[in-house]
Structure 1
Amino acid sequence: MALRVAVFDPFLFTKQFGAGQIKFRTHLISDFGTTTDKDEDAALVVPVHENIICNLANIEIFDSGDAEEEDCLGWITIMEKCDGNLREKLKNGNATLDERKNIATCIKSGLDYLEEVGIYHRDKKLANFLLIGDVAKICDFGLVEEESGRKSFRKLGYTRRGSKYRNLEALCKF
C-alpha cells in the first residue's frame, strides 16, 4: 500500500489550528460498487479499472463546523502500491518498443474508461502514470473535470469539490 496526503487549506499548519476544529470521514473501497457508465443511476459507485489506481481508503478532513461536509480541507488516501512511474521508466531508457506500446495501450484504456464514467483527467504527465509490472495505472485525480455529480467519486478520492479546490474554469484563468 501507498499513502498520499493532500492539504488544501494552510490553516492546518498554523498555531491557531487545534484538533477540536476538524472532523474526519473515512471511506473504504468495500463500501462502493463499480461504475460502468456516467449516466447510470447508482449513488455508491467508484471507478474500478485495471488501468486506474485503486484507492483502497480515503479519509476526508473537514472543519468541525462544516455540517454539510462540502468544503474538504484535505485528504489522506491509501492506494495500491506501485513499482514506479512512467517518467522514471523512460528516464532510465530501458523500455523496449513493445513495452512502450503496452504502456500506451494501458493509458488509453484507462482514459477511455474515465471518460465513459464522466471523469476527465487533466493532469496527464509522465509521473501520474504508475506502473505495476507491465501494467500502467492512472493516478493523481487532483485536477479533473467530473460531470456525473456523484459524491461517491469524491468520497473515495477520485474527484474534489469545495472552496479549497478550484474547478477547471478557475484554473484556466491563471
Structure 2
Amino acid sequence: MKLMIKKYATPLITGLFLVSAISGTALFFHWMPGMFHSMHVWLSMVLLLPFVLHMWRNWAQFLLYFRTPAMLVACGLSLAAAIGFVLTTGHAGGNPARQLFPLLTHAPLNTLAPVLHTTPDALAERLSHEGCTVHSTDGTLEQIATDCGQKSNDLLLRLLPHHGDHGDHGDHGDHGH
C-alpha cells in the first residue's frame, strides 16, 4: 500500500490538478460550461483522495512548513480570500437557476413556450417525445413532469433551446449572446 501511495499519489494529484485547472478556467470564462461543470466538480472531489494520501504519507515534512512565515502568510491570505467571497457573494441570492427554475416550471405551457422560443403545441409535442402526456397546454411543466414520473427541472433542462437555436421564429440573430 505504501509503495502504491508513493508511486501514484503525486502523479494523480498532478493530473487531476491539471484537469481541475483547465476546467475551472473554462468555467471562469463561461466556455462550454455544460461540458466542464460536472467534470470540474467530480474530478475535483476525486483529487481529494490522492491529496489526502499524499498528506498522510508526508505529514511530518508538511508540519515543518508551518515553522516558516511563508506558509502562515499563504494560509492567512487564502482564508481571507475565502471569507471575502463568502461575505460579498454568499448572500447575493445564490444560484439564479434556483430562483428561475420554479418560475418556469410552474408556468402554464402557453406562457412557457414563447420563453423557450417555440409554440405551446410544439412544446407539447416535445414533451410527448420525453415520455410525458400533455392533456392541455394550460397545464404546468411541474404538473406534467409529476404525472409522467420525472423531475420538472430535469425536463426543463432537456427542453431548453440550444445556443443559437431560436425555435420556430426564423430569427437567427445574435440576441446579445
Q: TM-score range by the shorter chain?
A: under 0.3
Normalising by structure 2, we get a TM-score of: 0.28
Which structure's residues are more often strand, by fraction?
1
Per chain length, whose mean CA-contact separation is higher, i.e. which structure has more relative contact order (CA < 8 Å, sep 6+)? 1
Which structure's residues are more often helix, by fraction?
2
Normalising by structure 1, we get a TM-score of: 0.28
Larger radius of gyration: 2
